[in-house]
Structure formats: structure tokens, C-alpha cells
Amino acid sequence: MNVMPSYEQEEFRTGVRRLADAAPLEPGGFDAARYAAAWSRFAEAGVAGLCLAPVMGGFSGAAEDVALIAAELGRAPGATPRIETMVLAAVLLSSGAEPAIARLREKFAAGQSQPAVAWFEGGDPYGQDMPQVQATRTDDGFTLTGRKMAVIGATTADCLIVTAQLPARGLGLFVVDPAAARVDMRGYRLSDTTPVADIVFHDTPALTDRPIAEGEHARAILHKALDHALIAQCAATLGGMDRAINLSIEHLKTRQQFGRPLADFQALQHRVADMFIATNDARSILYAAIAASRGDAVPRAAAASRCKVKISTSARSVIGDALHLHGGIGITTEYPVGHLYRRAMVDSLLMGDADYHLARLEAGGVDWRMDEQPAGVVECLARA
């Protein structure tokens, strides 16, 4: 498996890392305004266009390219936006053929639009296939009624992509103006300071006469978008694990005890070695998920769920160990390890926790353990 980056990938990754390192880590984390500014900064640098295929106005759309950059963004969760929300929006917008959707897609690729995807409703399976939000046909198009929860970036988004139930036609994907008078939004922050909002629609008109997609096509597109976003989220978590190990090694070399650096103590060396092994085991699962993302829906979904189970479990252990190795400084808001841990804990719950994905695998008759590699070659994904 070739995992060496091309020259172009390495240059892009270096630019993104430089941009992330230049952003100051603020103890209070993100508020809505800072998150919107971070989104704009990285989207204009090309991260949004990376999530779209060239035929859609972007310049990649490949899972390996997205994962490479996601790992860089995951190294600095207090200064970077969530790339999985960009991936969600990109895949959903790619399915629309109307001129209004094409214009929105162009703005998104250029970093001039910040869409938010409203799909989560709680419950099981989170309102994916049978949302409680109802779409009603009117003389002018459609109106939406219902509630969505924990919509990331909604308070500063310029458009919402909303999943809704169409009478007798199944799932529908709609675009809504978040500033519309019939949209009630309550913003708050998750424990890692990611800004989200609960949204209630009251006969809110959609911006287009027709849904972006509907029926089985909409369902397939939504599941594809969620699987690709899940892989990007896992790559970001893996980047955070790599950063936590590097910070731990630096700390152990610097901090002294009994007149010697902590790095001289064999027990701590073994602890770091265990963290490194766990991270690279998780990296292998990510590679497999990226390879499977190019294939059919069933193996793609199974690989994405395996990836979430493995990486979320490993991150809890690895970044938790980094906290322990740092001692009290690790939990302060002025130091990055605490931010990495809070992001990892939130990510372990977003888009389905380990129990949900284990149940998803079991329902599909799939063992969560990966006994054999999926077909395909992962090109040019380097270690973060």
C-alpha cells in the first residue's frame, strides 16, 4: 500500500498546517464568530474546494486528499473548523442539478459560502432515513415543519441543507435560508466549544422549487455523505492522536524529576510506545476505510463504522494517556492537550457512538473486526 504523498499533496498539507499553527489557541475556545472566521479562512485556502470533485467546481473530492488535510485540522481543534461538515455539504450539494444549487456549489468551492447540514434529530437511528421534519408541497414549492438538533455551525451559516420527510415519497433534501422569519434557532456550544444550534422550522419555505434529491436517491446520497464525513472525522481524530503523542514526548524530554528528564524513565517510555502502537493500529483501519469509500454502499458503510469504533476507542486511551503524562498542565485551557481530549470525547459521540456503529455492523451481519483488507489501493495518504 503506497502511502507517500505527492508533491502537490505535501505542499497543500504544509500550507494548511502553517495556517493552523498561526491561529492562536484561545483558552475559551470557539464562539460562533471565531468559528465562522476559521471556516472562512480555511475554506478560502482551498479546503472547501478539496471536498468537491473537479466536475463540480472543486479540485479533488478524493477521500485520501480529504483525510490528509483532516488530520492537519485535527491537530489544532481550538483553531480550525470541522472538515466533516464541509464534506457533508459537498456531497449533498453535488447531487443537485438546479441552477440555484450549482451557484451555491460554486460559492462553496470558492470559500464564499458556509452551509450547515441539519440532519440529526436524536433517537435511533438519529433521524437519517425517517426524519420527523415534514415537507409539504405548496403552490410555490415546499415548506418544512419540525425540529433538528445540534446543527454544527448553524448560527453563522448562510444556508441550511435540511433532511425532511416527503409525503409518500420518502426522504427529501432541501435548502433553507437560516435567516427566514419562520426559523427559530437556539445556539449553544458543545463541551469542546464547537458552536451548534437546535432549529425549529414553522412552515419554513425551501429556497428551491424542488428538493436537491428525493426518495431512494436522497437516501443513498445522505448515507454516502455521512460515511465520507465519518471517515474525515476519524482522520481528524487520528491527527489529534499524533499531536498528543508529539506533545507528550516533548513534555517528557523537558520536565525533570529527581534531576533527570522524565523521558529517561523506562515506564514512561513504555507508555508512549503503547500510545504509538495504538495510534498506528488505528491508522491502518483508516486506510482501509478510505479504500472502501470508493466502492459500493455496503462495504463502505461497514468500513466507516469499523473506523469509528476503532479510532474513537483508541483516541480515548491515547489522548487520555497524554493527559496523564502531562499532569495538571494537561487539563488547563491554555495548553493544547486538553483541547485535543475534549474534541476526541465529543467526536466519539457525534455521528453515532461506538455502540451505535457496532449495532449497525451487527444489523448488516458484519463482524466489526477487519479480518481482511478491502479491495483497492489507498494512494498518497501520509502519516500526519
Predicted confidence at residue 382, as pLDDT, reads 36
Query: 45-48 long-range CB contacts below 8 Å, 24 or more apart?
Result: 45/15, 45/16, 45/19, 45/111, 46/12, 46/111, 47/16, 47/73, 47/83, 47/86, 47/111, 48/86, 48/90, 48/108, 48/109, 48/110, 48/111
Predicted confidence at residue 379, as pLDDT, reads 38
Specify the domain boundaries for CATH 2.40.110.10 within the chain. 115-213
* Cis omega (within 30 of 0) for bond into 125: yes
Q: How far apart are CA 198 and CA 268, in angstroms?
A: 44
* Entry pTM: 0.92
Burial (CB count <10 Å: 0-12, 13-18, 19+), residue 280: middle
Predicted confidence at residue 127, as pLDDT, reads 65
Predicted confidence at residue 124, as pLDDT, reads 62
Q: What is the DSSP letter of 329?
A: G
Residues with Cβ within 8 Å of residue 261, at least 6 apart in sequence: 252, 253, 254, 255
Tens digit of pLDDT at every position of the chain (384 positions): 456 788 899 999 999 999 998 888 777 788 888 999 999 999 999 999 999 999 888 989 999 999 999 999 999 998 899 999 999 999 999 988 888 899 999 999 999 999 999 999 987 666 677 899 999 999 989 999 999 999 999 999 999 999 999 988 789 999 999 998 899 999 999 999 999 999 999 999 999 889 999 999 999 999 999 999 999 999 999 999 999 999 999 999 999 888 899 999 999 999 999 999 999 999 999 999 999 999 999 999 999 999 999 999 999 999 999 999 999 888 888 889 999 999 999 999 999 999 999 988 988 766 545 444 333 333 333 333
Please state which CATH number belongs to domain 7-109.
1.10.540
Half-sphere exposure of 100 (CA within 13 A, CB side): 12
The CATH superfamily holding the domain 115-213 is Butyryl-CoA Dehydrogenase, subunit A, domain 2 (2.40.110.10)
For residue 99, give the amino acid letter.
Answer: P
- Evaluate whether 17 touches 75 at the Cβ level (below 8 Å): yes
Predicted confidence at residue 333, as pLDDT, reads 85
**Neighbour count for residue 268 (Cβ, 10 Å):** 17
Specify the domain boundaries for CATH 1.20.140.10 within the chain. 217-363
Residues with Cβ within 8 Å of residue 262, at least 6 apart in sequence: 251, 252, 253, 255, 256, 268, 325
Predicted confidence at residue 53, as pLDDT, reads 92
Specify the domain boundaries for CATH 1.10.540 within the chain. 7-109
- Evaluate whether 109 touches 68 at the Cβ level (below 8 Å): no
Classified as helix, coil or strand, 354 is helix
Predicted confidence at residue 6, as pLDDT, reads 87
Predicted confidence at residue 2, as pLDDT, reads 58
Classified as helix, coil or strand, 206 is coil
Predicted confidence at residue 383, as pLDDT, reads 34
Q: How far apart are CA 205 and CA 143, in angstroms?
A: 4
Predicted confidence at residue 130, as pLDDT, reads 84
Q: Which option is the CATH number for 217-363: 2.60.40.1760, 1.10.260.40, 3.90.550.10, 1.20.140.10?
A: 1.20.140.10
Query: Reduced to 3 DSSP states, what percent helix, strand and coil does the chain have, rounded to the nearest 5?
Result: 50, 15, 30
User: How is 95-127 classified by DSSP, letter by letter?
Assistant: T--SHHHHHHHHHHHTT---EEEE---SSSSTT
